[in-house]
Amino acid sequence: MKNANVLKMRRILLAYAFYNYDLGYCQGMSDLLAPLLYTIQDEADCFWCFVGLMSRTERSFDRDQTGMHKQLLALRRLVQLLDPQLHAHFGKQDCRNYLFCYRWLLLHFKREFDFTDCLRLWEALWT
């Protein structure tokens, strides 16, 4: 027996790959889609919500990674401004590029929290 939600997710991601042909499908998109599909069970509505989310985050999935590097630089500057001691500690540990935060930013902390907390965090971030 096939999982109906996995089939919906596959169709949405395939449709998105054709909708945004230049970007296509990238690893991590399913992580962003899963909570949307859980919340918005109608496939068409979920697709369009995913399109809206990706319009805000697609630069993070660029092959040259310039979008993600801009976010990492912004995070570095924020930490440097808000917590200079932590920033100095990262410098001593040779972590100035903040690459350890890559997955956090790409997936909006989806894999760092349990599902319920992730939904709550996303709601707070997006409202």
- Model's pTM, two decimal places? 0.84
- Among candidates 73, 60, 66, 67, which has minimal Cα distance to 108? 60
pLDDT tens for the chain, 127 residues long, are 588 889 999 999 999 999 999 999 999 999 999 999 999 989 999 999 999 999 988 899 988 888 999 999 999 999 999 999 999 999 999 988 899 999 999 998 999 999 999 999 999 988 8
HEC secondary structure over 56-74? HHHHHHCCCCHHHHHHHHH
End-to-end C-alpha distance for the chain, whole angstroms: 38
Nearest to 28 by CA among 66, 68, 74: 68
Token code pair at residue 109: 């902390």
**CB burial class (10 A; 0-12, 13-18, 19+) of residue 47?**
buried
For position 4, what pLDDT does the model report? 87
